[in-house]
Amino acid sequence: MIYPIVAFGHPVLKRKAKDVEVSQDLLAFIDDLYETMYAAKGVGLAAPQVGKGQRVFVVDGSPFAEDPENAVDSETLKTFKRAFINPVIVEESGEPWGFEEGCLSIPDIHANVIRHPNIVVHSVDEQGKPLVESFSGVPARIIQHEFDHIEGVLFTDRLQPLKKRLLKSKLNDIAKGNISTDYRMKFYLK
């Protein structure tokens, strides 16, 4: 099932999501997240973006593998397709770097966001078994962006106040639904 994607301005995007139990229902929901992400041509999608306050997100970094700027991570990105269930970033390290981020909930806005390059993530797999994994570079970046969603944080929250002020009217337009996208969206203020 393809969900409409919740746009900037909806309170569900600002709420901290809750841990989930692994179940058949959850696995079916994860399939819906993939379907919704692919329909919108995204590389990641978190449950709050379809209006569900659950700590789960899916990623597929393969579209980024073609970009020469991501050459170092190209091999990893090609097969970087999976779900993260109840993830926690327990460690971030390395020299912070900038990467141009975008978001399906904030269409047509891109901005440079500074984050650490290396992370350690605890989560559970689709059988409920605990996982401890390390990621770096662009894959880590995608996880950090999606993890922010389940913490109620958007990439625009991480911008300098001046940059944020410059985007204010565009963000208001998105919240009010004054925007057109190739995928279906849901607006809180409309």
Residues recognised as catalytic: 146
In the bound complex, what is the minimum distance in angstroms from residue 186's beta carbon to Zn ion?
15
Neighbouring C-alpha atoms within 13 Å toward the C-beta of 102? 10
* Nearer CB in complex with Zn ion: 29/155: 155
Give residue number: closest CB to Zn ion. Answer: 103
List of residues 6+ apart from 155 with CB closer than 8 A: 101, 102, 103, 106, 111, 113, 145, 148
- State in angstroms the smallest separation of the CB of 91 from Zn ion: 22
Give 172-175's long-range contacts (Cβ < 8 A, gap of 24+). Answer: 172/9, 174/7, 174/8, 174/9, 174/106, 174/107, 174/109, 175/7, 175/8, 175/9, 175/10
How big is the site for Zn ion, counted in residues (CB under 5 A)? 1
Position 5 contacts Zn ion (CB under 5 A) = no
> Per rule CB under 5 A, is residue 56 in the interface with Zn ion?
no
Least distance from Zn ion to the Cβ atom of residue 75, Å: 24
* N-terminal to C-terminal alpha carbon distance within the chain: 23
CB 72 within 8 Å of CB 59:
no
Shorter beta-carbon distance to Zn ion: residue 22 or 34? 34
Pick 85 or 142: Cβ nearer Zn ion: 142
Q: Considering the complex, state which of residue 22 and residue 112 has its C-beta at the smaller distance from Zn ion.
A: 112
Cβ nearer to Zn ion, comparing 76 with 156: 156
Residue span 93-112 as binding mask against Zn ion, x where in contact by CB under 5 A, dash where not: ----------x---------
Residue 156 contacts residue 167 (beta carbons within 8 Å): yes
Rounded least distance, CB 97 to Zn ion, Å = 19
Residues forming beta bridges with residue 54, ordered by sequence position: 18
In the block, residue with structure tokens 């607006």: 187
Output the smallest distance, CB 7 to Zn ion, in A.
11
Give the footprint of Zn ion on this chain (CB under 5 A): 103
